[in-house]
A = this chain, B = another copy of it.
């Protein structure tokens, strides 16, 4: 594949498999969920947010390419913050869950998250720990498709839910600028370094895998909290939904 063909193939995966196509997202943005269902989404999604710096550190721990590490480290800064002048994405997500009325320690513990969420998230961390560096970078390329979903989410959730206000949407506002920078770097890296058929196929498979990680999380939320609403033993149960 040429560079352009590889980029087109990567974008096609997003067009067909990114989780903006999932019915749970349409419900979330369209105001079709009650507060408990939005709580369930936020506390499950926290597992993913909290795992992101681990997968980024795993990637950095496996590459001898100093330039790649120097670029990649800002992702960890973005998510973890420094606790002084930058709270970081995880803290902003906790602002959302707290704003939704969820106990901070319960959310951080991830004990009430769906097992399916944890399995999917840890599969992502494992993937980055074990695949090639090109695959690890390619698995981050869902961010190419993220800005649109964040836009939809910010406007849809502010408009449709009286328990959501601007203060709890800080995470998504910030990602509107962070995600494109990250995605552009990662795309360029993959197009440059996936220079054999095997590496190109690996990059495509990695992006498909990552779309599955995101999609599966919404499947589990839809199943447990929307329809048919079968909450697994031990998982979060709505108290005010």
Contacts and interface: CB of A to CB of B under 8 A. Distances in A.
Interface of A: 16-17, 23, 114-116, 118-120, 122-123, 126, 208, 211-213, 215-216, 219-220, 222-224, 227-228, 230, 232-234
A39 B95 CA distance: 44
B216 A222 contact: no
A216 B216 CA distance: 11
B216 A115 contact: yes
B224 A227 contact: no
A108 to B, nearest CB: 18
Nearest to A211: B233
A115 B224 contact: no
A212 B228 contact: no
Given A126-B122, A126-B126, A223-B222, A116 B230 contact: no
Given A115-B212, A216-B115, A233 B120 contact: no
A216 B131 CA distance: 25
A220 B219 contact: yes
A130 to B, nearest CB: 10
A135 to B, nearest CB: 16
A114 B212 CA distance: 9
Candidate in A114, A115, A215, A232 with the most chain B CB atoms within 10 angstroms: A115
Contact of A23 (B119, B216, B230): B230
Given A216-B232, A224-B219, A232-B215, A116 B120 contact: yes
